[in-house]
Amino acid sequence: MKITIRKANEKDFFAILSLVKELATFEKALEKVTNSVEQMKNEKDFFQCYVAENDKNEIVGMALYFFAYYTWVGKSLYLDDLYVKESYRGKKIGTKLLKKIFKIAKKENCKRVRWQVLNWNKSAIEMYEKSGADIDDEWSNCDFDENGIKEFNL
């Protein structure tokens, strides 16, 4: 089976959003996905994505990222989602996507690559540790959803 890693385009947004929803289902949080293809089109300048495509032109994986700035180190790449369809796992597709992300980070002179992994996702943690990632269990996420942003009041 031949897998091609290529830069995503607007025509891929439906497939990308489907993968995002598969990932959210895997993470037991599908109800939190509020994004849409239309929203992705409107906000396409804020993210970039690479997809893994099989020889039938089916998108079977993706790595969606954006550039961020962290005060301690400077320009960084934040990998928001790395996902491979379940039936395609174990074929090094996730590794290929991760290699692409690091190639981009090097080319863009990033000082850090960061992403999150759920503490119960043991297979992902093993892959990340195998690649040399430092997995931090000290920091906690702080999130406000759209409604929380509107209602924020100290």
- What is the number of domains present in the chain? 1
The answer as to whether 141 is a domain residue is no
Does the pLDDT of residue 154 top 90, yes or no?
no
Q: What is the pLDDT of residue 141?
A: 85
Q: Which of 50, 65, 83, 128 is catalytic?
A: 128
Q: In this structure, are residues 64 and 16 in contact, taking their beta carbons and an 8 Å threshold?
A: yes
- CATH number, domain of 35, equals 3.40.630.30
Instruction: Choose among 69, 50, 68: nearest CA to 60.
Output: 50
Catalytic status, residue 78:
no
Residues 56-70 pLDDT 10s:
999 999 999 999 999
**Is the entire prediction scored with pTM above 0.75?**
yes
For residue 52, being part of any structural domain is answered with: yes
Asked whether the predicted pLDDT for residue 137 surpasses 90, the reply is no
In a domain, 53, yes or no: yes
User: What does the pLDDT read at residue 43?
Assistant: 98
Q: Quick check: is 89 in a domain?
A: yes
Q: Which domain holds residue 75?
A: 4-132
